[in-house]
Each structure stands twice: as structure tokens, then as C-alpha cells.
Amino acid sequence: MPDPLPTHAGPFALGTFRTADDDPAPGPFPGLVTGARVRDLSDLVPSVRALVEDWDTWLPRLAELAGRADGTWHDLAGLRILAPIEPGQILQSGANYRKHVVDLVAAEKESVHGATPQEARADAEKMMDERIRAGVPYVFLGSPRAMCGPYDDIVLPALGEQHDWELELALVIGKPGRDIAARDAYDHVAAYTVCNDLTTRDRLYRPDLKAIGTDWFTAKNADTFLPTGPFLVPAAFAGDPGDLRITLRHNGVVRQDESTKDMIFDIPQLIAYVSTTTTLRPGDLLLTGSPAGNGAHWGVFLRPGDVLEAEITGLGHQRNTVRSAP
């Protein structure tokens, strides 16, 4: 039985697609998704990124196009779904779910400092409460070259053994800004999508450069290590981004299952924080962190033949098969 088609909240969503491999038509092309059908937008605009760069103009026009029959339409089932957008910057928020960070800190206090489970958890929760009260987000940059489609194979790099999953809600900036106030942050969000931000845990720390700390480039930016999509769902349709369900299954076993309510720093705080350093521009992608339940928590890491199935409420699902590098 074929996998079900990905669904989306609201009357339409956006994506990037390619026709069947034996079809001579050029690709990829930007598409307007309405349920099980896709309207080819390449006669109007070159890419989804170009739409987002003029979001206020395009959003009402997309609503009009979704209700018309003219143009070239495809069945979604007959298309290859690619990553929905080629971003500018990819900004990634780390350690941003309370339960996830409490689990990590408590485990360290038990194993390294000899605390009892009750003492370790109480100390970790106290630390997180203080971080929520007085701390700031932790954000780093990712590479667009790590992106792949929501149904593409994940290719494990030759180096490293502890390849891990981290499902995340991501937002797409639709309005430029610098030093954005938290109260104005949502005005700068065009749409939301799904990202699985994979990490090779045993390549995260460099034994030859202990004083420098983490090596995010090596651990997180292998080709195919950022499955993205299937769609961009306009912010107006996505519901409350502060209460969406994030669910990931590894070989059919639920590993992550949490609401975005568990974020330490919410979306307005993240946007306000990153915009003090960098000017946000339309097409930038901001990942908001991953909840508890990654492979390191379970003591299970990815191996060739594994299957990851991931979804976020209203944004669609992903299904990626893991294979080794050729």
C-alpha cells in the first residue's frame, strides 16, 4: 500500500516539485498545493523563494489562484516532493525544550557528579527555571547544502557512528528586519515547515581542540542531514505555533512526542534575539529546537535500513530511509 499523501492545514500550501524522472519537462518548479493537486507556478514566478521575497503581494494572489482552474495542474501523487525552499540563512536554535534539557543535565549530574535521580532532576529543573527567567537563546548557523527533500534517503557519512535525529518546527521569514521587538516578531513570519536536524553525536566535540568546544559544522552539516518539508504552510493557516504536536517514529517506535509549548524561548523571543546580531531577510529559515526523545536519550542511533517518520500538526509528514554512503 503506498504512503498516504502529505496533508496541510488551510486551503493551500507551497512546495517545490519535480515531475517523474522519465518526463522531459524541465524542473524543479514552484507549486501551489491544494489538497491532492498542485498548480505549477513557474509561468508566474521562478521559485518559492521569489514568492516569499514579495510575500505581502503574493499571499492574496495565491488565494485567488487556488480557487481557479486555469494553469497547469498536476496530481500530487505523481510528483517528487523536494525541499520546499532554498533559504538564505539557516539559523538553528539549540537546547530550547525544557524537558529535553532537563533530561540531559540530570543525566550528567547523576553519571558525573554522583547525584541521586531525585537530586539531579531537581537541580536541573532549577537551572532551567533560572534560564527561562534570565537567560538567552543559543543559536548557530547551518548549511543549506545539508538540506534534502522530505522523502529522500538520508545518507550516513563515512565518519562517525552516533547519527541522531532531532525533529523541529521551522519558520520562514517573510519580512526583513533588524532589532525586531518580540511583540512585532510574528509580523515577520511568512510560513512554517518541518525540519529534521540530524546530528552525528560522536563528531560534535573535537578531541584535538577541547578548548574550542563543539564542532557544529562537522556534526550537523553532512549532505542530506536536514530533511525539510514537505510544504510551506502560510502562518495564517498553521494554527498556534506555540502549541503544535511534534512526533517522530524510528522504525515504527515513537521516539519524540511533544508540544511546542515546551519551548524554553518562544518564537518571538528567538526572532528578537537573532535579529540583534543579523538582519533577517525573506527566505531565511529559523529552526526552533527539538524536544526530548532523540537517539542519545534512548541509546539508539541510526543504521542503514532504518526508517524515520516525522510530522508536525498541520504541516505534513516526512518519511526518510537511511542508507550508508556509497
Structure confidence by residue, pLDDT tens digits, 12-68 = 999 999 997 656 666 799 999 999 999 999 999 999 999 999 999 999 999 999 999
Give the Cα separation of 39 and 64 in Å (integer).
Answer: 12
Q: For residues 80 and 38, is the Cβ–Cβ distance under 8 A?
A: no
From residue 185, alpha-carbon distances to 8, 85, 174, 274 in Å are 23, 21, 11, 11
Question: How high does pLDDT run on average in the chain?
Answer: 92
Measured over the CA atoms of residue 105, residue 106, residue 109 and residue 111, the dihedral's sign is: negative
Strand extents, DSSP E, 149-261 = 154-156, 163-164, 167-173, 189-196, 199-200, 226-227, 233-234, 245-250, 253-259
User: Closest by alpha carbon to 185, among 244, 260, 272?
Assistant: 272
Could you give the domains of the chain? Answer: 13-82 (no CATH), 90-324 (3.90.850.10)
Burial 12-24 (b: 16+ CB within 10 A, else e): bbbbbbbbeeeee
Task: Kindly list the strands in the beta sheet with 167-173, ordered across the sheet, starting from the edge strand earlier in the chain.
Answer: 138-142, 90-94, 285-287, 167-173, 189-196, 233-234
What are the grid coordinates assigned to 99, written together? Answer: 524537558
Tens of pLDDT, residues 211-252: 888 888 999 999 999 999 999 999 999 999 999 999 999 999
Task: Tell me the pLDDT band of 1, cut-offs 50, 70 and 90.
Answer: very low
- Widest Cα–Cα separation across the chain: 68
User: What digits encode the pLDDT tens for the residues 245-300?
Assistant: 999 999 999 999 999 999 999 999 999 999 999 999 999 999 999 999 999 889 99
CB-CB contact of 196 with 310 (8 Å) = yes
10 Å Cβ neighbour count for 264? 22
Indicate the pLDDT class of residue 151, thresholds 50, 70 and 90. Answer: very high
